[in-house]
Chain A
Amino acid sequence: MDHQPHSTDEEKEIQKDYSDYFLAPKFKGTRFEQHGIPFSFLKDLEHIEKTLFEAIKAFYLEDTKKKRLPFNLEQSVSLVLKGIDKGSAVALIQAERPYSATPVDPIVKPLLDRAKNGMISVVKATQDPTISDDDIAKLLPPKALEMLSRFGKGFGENEQLDFTHGPRKKPVVFNKKTQEKLTQVFVKTSRESFKEIILRGGIYEVSQTQKCFYIKPLKGAAIKCALKRNINDPVTEALRHYLDGEKVKICGVARLKHGHIKEVIEVMSISPLKPRDIGQRLFELRNRKKGWLGPDSIPPSESGLDWLVEQFDKYYPENLPLPYLAPSETNGIIAEWPIGENEASVEFFFETRKGEWLGYRDDFENDDCKELDFNLPDSWFWLVDEIKEMERVASK
């Protein structure tokens, strides 16, 4: 009598050898119990292919020291779902030349294997608490890691994927926690973030096919911006007047890396720069040298000018009159608002981020001077109210 327990179907599947396949990840969880993979999950699988492609591209450039990829590299390989095996569901994935079902180019094959091993190593490393985020990030090129961090968002709580199931192999499990961990690793190591920004510059190129345009900001390198139908007209108009020196102001959401704008992923508004635009004017003042106004005079600092642009963009409403700006002899900026018959000014001191309001009221009992701490939003609100009041007085 055989006292050995009977093997279940699943256990039998575990013993199967899938080494003929490029990948045979095993899905577990309610949705995969019937040995199938829901359509909704197939889109998610695409991120595996994108991860490998990004890794291949980075490895190729790294190995060859070239700056450009061969034009057909991405077209030389394709991941194909050849079938679904039991257990719960094992996706049988082959790497092939597209449309030919023939083996991958021998030049690409080692890169592809390296990419696969890198991907599996990353997943394995996320399960080891002793491995730091920085060390995990070193296992795959950044763009590949970014793609992998997008995989698995569709996993339910009890669902998972095992990359290397089978005899004598320690499971390399990818589940919701893995996805969250990879996102954390990617965000932390890439120092990538998203932020609402304002950019000023000239639009010098538009690509309708790639749905993007390029802006040369007042300061720094050109930046790619997403082009959508709703901003097509102002973008085209700005492009037409680029050679006349026309500049625009763009409000949008940017992807930043290490604190620098990499691209604008959404443009919320675009308009030609107004006369006396704060960013433009303060940019003009940034190259003053020591002695700009006689011996020992020090020009406003770049960091101070950047700060002031940022503060005006943040707190000063678009519809209020813009001040005339000039450097001050205290290394800051004097802003003057001539409104109607009156004139008020603020001198901004960059070292302390404070300022001094000299108002327009000839009221000696209530001296119309005020020291303001522009580190505090309240000071900006107060200033905005005063300018509104000046407008009201002028309109009487």
Chain B
Amino acid sequence: MISVNKPEENFLLRQIHPDFFPDGRVQSSAFNPTSRHQYRLSTNNNSMISAHEAFSRHLENGGLTIGVLGITEQDCSKNDLTIDHDGLTEQDIPDDHVSVVFPEPIGNAGKRQNKRMAESLRDEAVARDWFYKP
């Protein structure tokens, strides 16, 4: 089990679906939201919930996850991605919920751009290693 406390920075915790972890490698798809999710990547603010708690709650809510990775707001801004602390403003989602807002892709160039941004977030997150992994 890996359980890391990294309090010095504000991290956004991302649950990794087991299907996006083929042969021990995180797919960029794990960080690339689609139209089904309105191009918003769901994360949790680790200043409000620990990686372990976020993991357990995700499973309790019927989601699947094999572990938790973390990105920073800086990782997002570097890729021109904005952050929406929607948990603080919307009623039916937890307070700690944060969305990373991707642009709606236009044509192939847009898709490729989104993929590049997802790859970048994935690479940063993987470099930091797991925040929690049973």
Chain A contact residues, CB within 8 Å of chain B: 275-276, 281, 285, 288, 292-294, 296-297, 324-330, 334, 336, 338, 343, 345, 356, 358-359, 364, 367-371
- A368 touching B112 by the CB < 8 A rule? yes
Assembled-state Cα–Cα distance A288/B22 (Å): 15
- B27 touching A276 by the CB < 8 A rule? no
Q: Give 29 pairs: A residue, B residue, CB < 8 Å, sorted on A.
A: A276-B22, A276-B23, A285-B19, A292-B19, A292-B64, A293-B17, A293-B36, A294-B63, A296-B36, A297-B36, A324-B23, A325-B22, A326-B19, A326-B20, A326-B22, A328-B29, A329-B29, A329-B34, A329-B36, A334-B27, A334-B29, A336-B27, A343-B28, A343-B119, A345-B115, A358-B112, A367-B112, A369-B111, A369-B112
Interface residues on B, range: 20 to 34
Interface status of B1 (Cβ within 8 A of chain A): no
B26 CB → nearest A CB, Å: 9
Q: With A364-B109, A369-B108, A369-B112 given, is the CB distance from A275 to B23 under 8 Å? A: yes
B19 CB → nearest A CB, Å: 5
- Chain B neighbourhood of A368, CB < 8 A: 112
B29 CB → nearest A CB, Å: 5
- A369 touching B109 by the CB < 8 A rule? yes
In this complex, what residue of A is CB-closest to B17?
A: A293
- Chain B neighbourhood of A336, CB < 8 A: 27-28
Assembled-state Cα–Cα distance A367/B107 (Å): 11
- Chain B neighbourhood of A330, CB < 8 A: 34
Assembled-state Cα–Cα distance A343/B29 (Å): 13
- Chain B neighbourhood of A370, CB < 8 A: 108
- A327 touching B37 by the CB < 8 A rule? no
Please, what's the 1-or-0 string for B11-23, where 1 marks a CB less than 8 Å from any CB in chain A? 0000001011011
Q: With A294-B37, A334-B29, A343-B119 given, is the CB distance from A288 to B19 under 8 Å? A: yes
Known: A329-B34, A345-B28. 7 other contacts (CB 8 A): A285-B19, A296-B36, A326-B20, A326-B27, A334-B29, A336-B28, A356-B108
In this complex, what residue of B is CB-closest to A276?
A: B23
A141 CB → nearest B CB, Å: 48
A236 CB → nearest B CB, Å: 28
Decide if the interface of chain B is mainly helix, strand, loop or mixed.
helix
In this complex, what residue of B is CB-closest to A275?
A: B23
Interface core residue of A288, A297, A330, A343 (most chain B CB under 10 Å): A343
- B29 touching A326 by the CB < 8 A rule? yes
Assembled-state Cα–Cα distance A293/B115 (Å): 19
- Chain B neighbourhood of A297, CB < 8 A: 36
- Chain A neighbourhood of B63, CB < 8 A: 294
- Chain B neighbourhood of A281, CB < 8 A: 22-23
Interface core residue of B20, B34, B115 (most chain A CB under 10 Å): B115
- Chain B neighbourhood of A358, CB < 8 A: 108, 111-112, 115
Interface core residue of A292, A368, A369 (most chain B CB under 10 Å): A369
Assembled-state Cα–Cα distance A244/B99 (Å): 43
A150 CB → nearest B CB, Å: 48
A349 CB → nearest B CB, Å: 13
Assembled-state Cα–Cα distance A285/B18 (Å): 11
Which residues of B (24-43) have their CB < 8 Å from a CB of A? Answer: 25, 27-29, 34, 36-37
**Contact with A324, one of B17, B25, B37 (Cβ below 8 angstroms):** B25
The 8 closest A-B pairs by CB, nearest first: A369-B108, A329-B34, A326-B27, A324-B22, A358-B112, A276-B23, A369-B112, A326-B20
B34 CB → nearest A CB, Å: 4
Assembled-state Cα–Cα distance A327/B29 (Å): 9
- B109 touching A367 by the CB < 8 A rule? yes
B109 CB → nearest A CB, Å: 5
Please, what's the 1-or-0 string for B96-129, where 1 marks a CB less than 8 Å from any CB in chain A? 0000000000001101100100010000000000
- A367 touching B29 by the CB < 8 A rule? no
- A367 touching B108 by the CB < 8 A rule? yes
Assembled-state Cα–Cα distance A170/B77 (Å): 94
In this complex, what residue of A is CB-closest to B123?
A: A343
A2 CB → nearest B CB, Å: 97
Assembled-state Cα–Cα distance A325/B20 (Å): 8
Interface core residue of A275, A285, A294, A326 (most chain B CB under 10 Å): A326
- Chain A neighbourhood of B23, CB < 8 A: 275-276, 281, 324
